[in-house]
Amino acid sequence: MEDIKIIELFRERDERAIAELKQKYGKLCLYVTGNILSVHEDTEECVNSAYFDVWNKIPPESPNDLKTYLCRIVKNKAIDRLKYNSAAKRSPELTVSLDELSECIPAPAEDRLSASELAELISRFLHSQDEKHRKVFVRRYWYGDPLSRIAELYGMNEKTVATYLFRTRNKLKDFLRKEGYDHE
């Protein structure tokens, strides 16, 4: 079913909306949470909680991209659960990928861009990159994939993936600096 039709089911408060959402994006949601959490029951609980949040948020919200909207909610739920489970200590894999990204994107500060403005800049930056660099970046920092998995997906070796990510982070840092977002 098309995303627009699923959103319409949510607006009509039709319970089929959840079933359609689960059928279309259930595996993706489990994959995203599975890269953050190690306990299967926790991943399922986060995904179900995300479905409930979507039910409560649509309407009034009306996302332009249902897949991204859902993945953001699921990812945030998984990170919250990870913090809860480990008393604010993240898994080494997730910590490494977030630390890498923090080189060019620090924690939000009140005197800087809002989160939505920063997200728009990052989106613009990624759309300016070639497809392979963009996909490698998204697999690492959105889906939380380890270097070995990205290398396997794109037929590359891990060092090449690491180089792609390093160069893309540096380009992002330069791009953000040119846009007036310099955190140093």
At 13-65, the pLDDT tens digits run 999 999 999 999 999 999 999 888 878 888 999 999 999 999 999 988 989 89
What is the model's pLDDT at position 80?
Answer: 86
Q: What secondary structure does DSSP assign to the chain, as a single string? A: --HHHHHHHHHTT-THHHHHHHHHHHHHHHHHHHTT-S-HHHHHHHHHHHHHHHHHHTTT---S-HHHHHHHHHHHHHHHHHHHHTTT---HHHHHHHHHHHTTS----TTS--HHHHHHHHHHHHHTS-HHHHHHHHHHHTS---HHHHHHHHT--HHHHHHHHHHHHHHHHHHHHHTT----
User: Between helices 3-11 and 66-85, what is the axis angle to 10°?
Assistant: 70
Is the domain 3-85 a CATH 1.20.140.10 member? no
Q: Which residue type does 162 have?
A: A
**pLDDT tier for residue 99 given thresholds of 50, 70 and 90:** low
Q: Give residue 103's pLDDT band: very low, low, confident or very high (50, 70, 90).
A: low
Give residues with Cβ within 8 angstroms of 134, minimum separation 6. Answer: 126, 127
Cβ-contact 145, 36 below 8 angstroms? no
CATH assignment of 92-178?
Answer: 1.10.10.10
Predicted confidence band of residue 110 (pLDDT cuts 50, 70, 90): very low
Domain spans in the chain, listed from the N-terminal domain onward: 3-85, 92-178
Q: Calculate the average pLDDT of the chain.
A: 84
